Structure 1
Amino acid sequence: MSTFIKDYIERETISRRNFLLATAAGMGAMAAPFAFGGGAARAAIADPAIAWSYRDRASAYWNSIVSGGETFVESLGKPKDSLVSLINEGSSEKSLADIKAFLAKTSGKCAIACDANDSPNARPVVEAVRDAGAYISTIWNKTDDLHPWDIGDNYVSHMTWSDEKPAEQTARILFEAMGGKGGVVHLGGIAANNPAIERLNGLKNALKDFPNIELLDAQPADWDTTKGTELMASFLTRFGDKITGVHCANDNIAYGVIEALRAEGIEDMPIVAYDGNPEAVKLVMDGKLLATVFTNPHWGGGITAALAYYAATGAFKPSEEPKEHREFYGPTILITKKDAADFKAKYLDSVPAYNWKDFWGPSNGQIKYK
């Protein structure tokens, strides 16, 4: 096993354990639901508590999201640990329960940034926040029929990333490296996640122009390194040397794929990934990954918290904003070997300073539905 991936997996295990302990300690007194009623936006909240609800901090992606949230709260003159972490560990039930408990503990005087874990969970989450008179901004996962303007000012905004086109770009890079022929496997995220669906669709779009490339199989690996290793090992057992390229839905999965391939003595398989994590960028620079895609999670994590916070304080009224400010795409940057070093210097060696009141500066326009 390579050193950095071995270290990554060990950090993931330790971080997951520590955060589970912290969550248990911090949320233990918050288990009882609270009846709020009403549903209308309350008057401006002078000093709202701030929380981020997310999967876990073990991955570099989510660590960067929460780091962005911490940077935002520090810009308010608060210590970064005043940002409350509501860690759902991939459970939509826990996500909703923890948010309800936080609403109860703060009597609804709060602002929440949230990834609902899967799309159907977004509606009960935002309705609970609305009923409490609190404020929430979401990222990544919601159903297409759920819109902030239908819920009201309490549902401030939703940001996602237009993953289909970047995933198609990575697939084309992969197919060119395969010589335009052979067999490809796709290791995806959680099946109900919007980004998992879009990234697989991007692969399928690219396949239309490459008739000599066969999609051997596409299965979910739940964004997880260990599951990526297990799934890739099963693909190798089933398909053997018919596999000549691998399309991964995120960087974490790609790390697992690399380990499964190395276990079989395979060092030169073309692989593409997604997220632009520091370890993945290094792999791109070293030629171990062909490409990854950066979604600027630090900015995304900070601006999502900022939107909920400033709406809660009355700094702006969400319903007075155009729809492209209520539902919008975040930024994406394709990273290949030719530009990886420049990207690393700009975004990873030092984190850019962001104006957390410039809510939509780097965004990419209103979300479009098919």
Structure 2
Amino acid sequence: MEVRVPGRCPEPGPVTQPSAGIRDAGFAGTAGDHLAALTRGRIAMERRTFLKTALAATTSAMVMPGLARAQAGKPATIAFFVKNVTNPFWKACRIGAEKAGKSLGVTVETVAPTKPDNIEEQTRLVEDWIVKKPDAFVFVPVDYKALVPSIQKVNAAGIPIVNYNNRMTGVDLVSYIGSDDEVMQYELCKYLFKTMGGKGKIVHIDGVPAAITAQNRKKGFERAVKETPGIEVLASQPGNYRRLPAVQVFENLMQRFPVIDAVVCANDDMAVGVAEALASAGRGDKTRVTGIDGIPDATAAINAGKMFATADFSGHDQAHLAVTAAVRKLRNQPVPKEMILPVVIVDKGNVKGFMKTPEERDPPDWNKYAAGRA
């Protein structure tokens, strides 16, 4: 009986002369030569198999750093990106992400450009963090097109990515978590126009034109205007999602237009600035101002009667859910391909329920959002 030892070839048997059939087939040499050749072939094949196995193991370790860290007893690290550190919305995002990290036992590192919404700086930051090899990226692009090549490099490095707030295409994502910006601005404008009796003169303060959120919110605004013939748009100009630029733009518009019935702003930071400019000019009680985000300054302004309404974009909840999605991916738990938060309009009637700071807000219910029941 022949016994085979794993990883070794059987010893060749006695040498015999090749049969006539072998000789006639054109094979040269003895049967011993053929057996030796077969032995060498088998050793080469086993060596190739070993190398393939080793390569697969190395690749697995490269693309699953979270698993490697978990096996080493170290907490996973999530690189959490924001667009800037000046807008209160991104502060809410950071707090939501840190809360999720703390509850899930992972380290959340916040990454932000020093220049607000700067494409070149965010590109460098992405490349720096690829070298640092975090377990996952939770990413929002300052420009959803310009950052595609950088995120493709993250894909090539095998680092999983959860995209939140500004949807990206052309890259491999674990999940997208955010809101439908067009629907949100559309619903908010329809509500505003209805309270105005379907007529009036309005100004639109846009966000960063290159941002997908601003583009989609503008589409929602334009759709609502088109459906309401009594609304006259006096001007539409960008405020770049920041308070000071928006105030500067709006102060010029106030000089041009003595009557402005409403101002639709693409976010709350700009809306709060516009409301303050109107109050300073003595026109605060004559113009309705809307924003989007539900930041504390905006809910306080609504409560004080200085702003008319906002939509709760909840950076806190988006970020909390996005970090949770990244951790679930690392732990091989199911994650939906997208989670879309519902539109919630906040005005004087319900603002009390939205006046908590990000630190005070309760964490979102993952199961409810994942099931689409939020």
TM class by smaller structure: 0.7 to 0.9
Q: In 2, distance between residues paired with 1:241 and 1:359?
A: 48
Task: Mark the CA change 1:359 to 1:304 in structure 2 (over 3 Å): closer, same or farther.
Answer: farther
Q: Normalization by structure 2: what TM-score?
A: 0.74
In structure 2, the residue matched to 1:333 is 344
Shift of 1:215: 1.0
Shift of 1:200: 1.6
Match of 1:59 among 87, 93, 100: 87
CA RMSD of aligned residues (A): 2.7
Query: In the comparison of the two structures, how many residue pairs are matched?
Result: 307
In structure 1, the residue matched to 2:130 is 103
Residue 271 (structure 2) pairs with residue 254 (structure 1): yes
Gaps (5+ residues) in structure 1? 1-37, 366-370
In structure 2, the residue matched to 1:219 is 237
Residue 369 (structure 2) pairs with residue 344 (structure 1): no
8 Å contact kept, 1:329–1:364: no
Residue 292 (structure 2) pairs with residue 265 (structure 1): no
Aligned residue identity for 1:182: G
Q: In 2, distance between residues paired with 1:359 and 1:137?
A: 19
Aligned residue identity for 2:261: T
Residue 194 (structure 2) pairs with residue 176 (structure 1): yes
Match of 2:144 among 119, 125, 143: 119
Q: In 2, distance between residues paired with 1:172 and 1:131?
A: 44
Q: Normalization by structure 1: what TM-score?
A: 0.75
Structure with more relative contact order (C-alpha pairs < 8 Å, separation 6 or more): 1
Greater Cα offset, 347-356 or 216-225: 347-356
In structure 2, the residue matched to 1:241 is 258
Residue 225 (structure 2) pairs with residue 207 (structure 1): yes
In structure 1, the residue matched to 2:55 is none
In structure 2, the residue matched to 1:361 is 370
Deviations 1:50-75 (A, max 9, x none): 11111123322111111011111111
8 Å contact kept, 1:171–1:203: yes
Task: Mark the CA change 1:294 to 1:302 in structure 2 (over 3 Å): closer, same or farther.
Answer: same
8 Å contact kept, 2:177–2:321: no
Match of 1:286 among 286, 301, 304: 304
Aligned residue identity for 2:63: R
Larger Rg computed on CA atoms: 2
**Local SS of the residue matching 2:370:** coil
Task: Mark the CA change 1:354 to 1:244 in structure 2 (over 3 Å): closer, same or farther.
Answer: closer
* Aligned sequence identity (%): 25
Task: Mark the CA change 1:297 to 1:109 in structure 2 (over 3 Å): closer, same or farther.
Answer: closer
**Local SS of the residue matching 1:119:** coil
In structure 2, the residue matched to 1:84 is 109
Gaps (5+ residues) in structure 2? 1-58
